[in-house]
Structure 1
Amino acid sequence: MNLTVFGATGGIGREIVGQALASGHRVTAVVRDPARLTVTGPGLVVVRADLTDPEAVRPAVAGRDAVLSGLGPRSTKDAGVAARLTRTVLAAMEAAEVRRLVVVSAAPVGPEPDDGIVDRAARALVSKVLKAVYDDLREMEAELSRSSTDWTSVRPPRLQDKPLTGTYRRVIGGFPPKGRFIARADVAHAMLATIDDEATVKQGVGVAY
């Protein structure tokens, strides 16, 4: 496939690029600072673009089979970046008539699983502390719902920097019970796996160990 990846220098974005290249895909990585992208390999094209301008982004998505986005706030200070930059990506995709989009969101944005009281209390505390981050991701998902794209939002819990396992639980339209952690590498794996999975179109997908 011919893929475009946004947020390619972030933890999940780098994993998407690396795993996609290893699987034989052609990848266009859209970045603000090419020096920060440490992934290399045949089939990789690096594009520096202003993510506030859909016209600047449009050539990077035109003719692609799918677009994957690791864009998102790294802290409460960055809240607002996910919705704002995703609007740019959506506008560029719609102008270029590219339909398939897979983004990373977060577990608290989706339906709450039927867990025990300890898990519910922990989620409530995290959601309170990171309210601005999750509000940003909710607005991002609202933008997806209003778009004409065939989108999927992958919603992980707490992220870890651990090796790829390829083994995790996945719930379309929900979240795995007692799912507390997942590696960034496995989130990237899950995102790539949804590209040609029609059951995930216009759905949130919860992933966790």
Structure 2
Amino acid sequence: MKLALFGANGMAGTQIAKEALMRGHELTAIVRDPARFSLSGDSLQDSFASRLTVVVGNVLDPISVAKIVKGHDAVISAAGPGNTTANNPDLALIIPQAAHSLIAGLTAAGVNRLVVVGGAGSLFVAPGMQLVDTPDFPVQYRPASLAHREALGIYEKADLDWTFISPAAIFMSGDRTGKFRVGTDELLVDEHGESRISAEDYAIALLDEVEKPQYIRRRMTVAY
């Protein structure tokens, strides 16, 4: 498949890029600064050179989005402000803005498939109670979590074959095990009550969904 990936420089984006290339896909990695793009080693990146194109693009500009994604089979968005919202909550606004831009850009380009790296905050932990609304939810992560929740609502109204993939509550680089559980709208926890997933295993779940869609126009989640 020919895939376009926004936010390829981030933690999730880097692992998604690596997983897509390891599976033999053609990948257009869309970044703001190509000099910062790396697949954890020049030799690894060189081995994928024939199937990897790195371009500069703006996920907040529908015209830029449409121009870049035209001709691709699917678009993946891992774009976001990262952890910077802890010091500047307004940066979280990038998340819903990107949702509007991606929908407009993909529609203009005639690309119907969109897979989005979402947040865990809007997952339900009890009937009518989402993780972000629980009393102990970390204040520093609240702006981004609320923004992801807003973005999910935007995608739910879109006339595209979208999938919004929420990670577990603890989401960081780790091991690639290939062993995890997939759910829908509820936070998944293990036998110790922990909710976690590595970026490496999250990337596996995301590419599985890209290759063999099971959650069209739905949210899914992945955790151990």
Per-residue Cα deviation, 1:7-31 (whole angstroms, up to 9, x for no partner):
0000000111111111100000111
* TM-score (norm: length of structure 2): 0.83
Tell me the equivalent position of 2:201: 186
- After superposing on structure 2, the runs of 4+ consecutive aligned residues of structure 1 that deviate more than 6 Å are none
Q: How many residues are matched?
A: 204
Change (3 A) 1:13 1:113: farther
Tell me the equivalent position of 1:150: 161
- 1:50 Cα offset (Å): 2.7
Change (3 A) 1:131 1:121: closer
Instruction: Report sequence identity in percent.
Output: 31
After superposition, residues 20-35 of structure 1 pair within 5 angstroms as: 20-35=20-35
After superposition, residues 60-209 of structure 1 pair within 5 angstroms as: 60-75=68-83, 76=85, 77=88, 78-112=91-125, 124-126=135-137, 128-156=139-167, 157-177=169-189, 178-209=193-224
3-state SS in 2 of match to 1:98: coil
Per-residue Cα deviation, 1:23-63 (whole angstroms, up to 9, x for no partner):
10000011100011113223001111233321122122111
Per-residue Cα deviation, 1:120-144 (whole angstroms, up to 9, x for no partner):
8995412554221111101111111
Pairwise CA RMSD of aligned residues? 2.1
C-alpha contact 1:113 1:176 (8 A) present in aligned 2: no
Q: Give the Cα separation in 2 of the matches to 1:160 and 1:50.
A: 25
3-state SS in 2 of match to 1:45: strand
Ranges in structure 1 where 5+ consecutive residues have no aligned partner: 115-119
C-alpha contact 2:31 2:56 (8 A) present in aligned 1: yes
Change (3 A) 1:197 1:112: farther
* TM-score (norm: length of structure 1): 0.89
3-state SS in 1 of match to 2:54: strand
